[in-house]
Structure 1
Amino acid sequence: MRVVAAMSGGVDSAVAAARMLDAGHDVVGVHLALSQSAATLRESARGCCTIEDAGDARRVADMLGIPFYVWDMAARFKDDVVEDFVAEYSAGRTPNPCLRCNEKIKFAALLDKALALGFDAVATGHYAQVVERPDGTRELHRAVDVAKDQSYVLGVLTEDQLARSFFPLGDTTKPQIREEAAERGFYVAKKPDSHDICFIADGDTKKWLTQRLGEQPGDIVDTDGTVVGQHQGAYAYTVGQRRGLALGRPAADGQPRYVVQVQPDTNTVVVGTADLLGVDALVGDHARWCGPAPDGVVSVGAQVRAHGEEVPATAWADGDQVHVRLERRLRGVAPGQSVVLYDGTRVVGSATISAASLDRHATAAGSS
């Protein structure tokens, strides 16, 4: 097969490209230029798409003897990922830009361009596994290395996209990948991993958002409406947050308080006690299925963070929505996060959480 190997300049994508070549595929390396003003050098483990990264990817491609190109997708990345990220926070939601990047860039823009140029598939260095069923269709599964598993951020892929995707690292642990890279003589064998969020190099999301949205002073209120503090922008807060609240009035019961709601319409942040954070009922929009949509109510595992716990649940599809009932409560679930559903190690699909609540009727019934 003719395969585009997405090469970020890191160790994972380098080994992924090498493995695709070893498997007998006709491989071309492609580095995605996602920044409109790329830095020359990487200043930390955060960030991506520096000129240094592109150079590292090119050196690996040269060692493998494969063609190498840089595809400029900075404008598409800005519109579909960065601006979406800002808009979601402005609306009081907490997005996951990695899922959006996989959906809109790596397995839409990149894959579409590859297919238009006559390639058959795209390979990346994600830690996940694609399993082919007897009928030739494919399933997305968790990686062998649980600590590095990235199936959560790939939960937006459709069955058609899976049919044209390769994840060569899914059966290997990260230490083994670094060892293999060293044996192949790759300079990037010891290169530090990148950390989210890639376009916020210093990791200070609040400062980054403030630079783009400006200060928007408002009230922090208790659940009874009492003003207990001030903020400089409700967009900088997320459900479940405890640090950085700087409340002027301590709680009467002395218990710590958390963000329980962000109200962008009134520019208000609502805080309350930890017991208000527990939810067991989720509604997700923009449902995407890695195969057929669930038929009726099905038992699944639900995960709401990239490295969060998987909770037993039931779920059912309703058009573009999915409804999820968790068997136990989760804390700090915010609108805008993604819920990814599993059947064992298999990814069933995903949705963007639009509402999270405590199903008090179900709770009361279960306790009777």
Structure 2
Amino acid sequence: MSLTPKSLSRRNLLRGLGGGVLGAGLAGCGVPAAYVAPGDRAGADLSADDKRLAWANWPLYIDTDDDDTTKRPTLEAFEKRTGISVDYVEEINDNDEFFGKISPALMNHQATDRDLIVMSDWMCARFVRLGWVQEMDRANQPNVTKYLDPLLRSPAFDPGRAHTVPWQSGITGIAYDHRRLGREIRHVSELWDRDLKGRVTLLSGLDESFALLMQGNGVDITKWTADDFHQVCDQVEKYVHNGQIRRFTGNDYTKDLVSGDVLACQAYSGDVIQLQADNPDIRFVVPEEGAELWSDSLMIPDLASHKANAERLVDYYYDPEVAAELAGWVNYVCPVPDARNVLASSKDEETAALAENTLIFPDDEMRERLVIARDITSGERVEFSKRWNAIVGL
């Protein structure tokens, strides 16, 4: 098994901002969770006789061959092992955009022509709430049952992960340049220190940014309130006006950090692994108050024609050997902790070193500070998006 870390992160592409006009409008569209009648979500499953499935994913989010990027070794191995042909399409560039693309069919109780999709958990929450995804049959997924990371097993929006299974996970924390700053950062509140004035950035996306800032205030993000949200907004607004915050960013925060224009910022763990390859002085910290653990998760839409085939593919990627190969390529937090032992046993030193990287396999100390935030409900989203977007636009 050849595992080679790549220099380009999927999150360097566009991510859904979550607080955009499209997201706010659709979230408040009034489609009830019970719109699809119980028992109506599953169409005729053709899996027994039709050995194929259609899978929509994000770009750069699966292993590819070093010499031919059109080849995907783990996926091709699945096809060979099972005889199931996978139509793999990298068509998801933004959560809200893709939601808008397939929601008309789902809203009208029509098939999406996709058997498996990957969405960020805050968007998965919307699908689950609307009743637009099917419950997975764990009898077809022994690897998921056995190997799924306990930290990811039961988010508030999908208790027991009945409708979603994490594809890859990650941490929203703080990245900083230790050499340029000349000290360590351990707390969220240190973003507001005087020596960082004008050299701090925050993520512009509502869903990506609010939880870490709440944790800095000592809030339990599994049960945060509207008051907690508005307190964060008051703080951020203050630091925008006094010049502490340089700007709000998408994934372009990496450029500011590399150039030295920014000394500390909200950041994703997977990005920092890539940055550290060129600059070991860039560090990622899970603050002592905690950090948000998030996932991009697999779901089977309503009326998918190949549900059992999709369940089988999901379970295949929870085989620790397969999960290790994928983790070695994408460098996000692996949702299969047992994959660490596979990487550690590699004779290749670079591959074995990945097993010791706590941003891929968090150690026990770090795991104690990682929390999955409760999602923003449809009733909250319009109000919260309006307030947050007003601040980001200042």
TM-score (norm 2): 0.27
Please say which structure displays the higher CA radius of gyration: 1
Decide which structure has greater helix share: 2
**Bigger relative contact order, structure 1 or 2, given CA contacts below 8 A and separation 6+?**
2
Decide which structure has greater strand share: 1
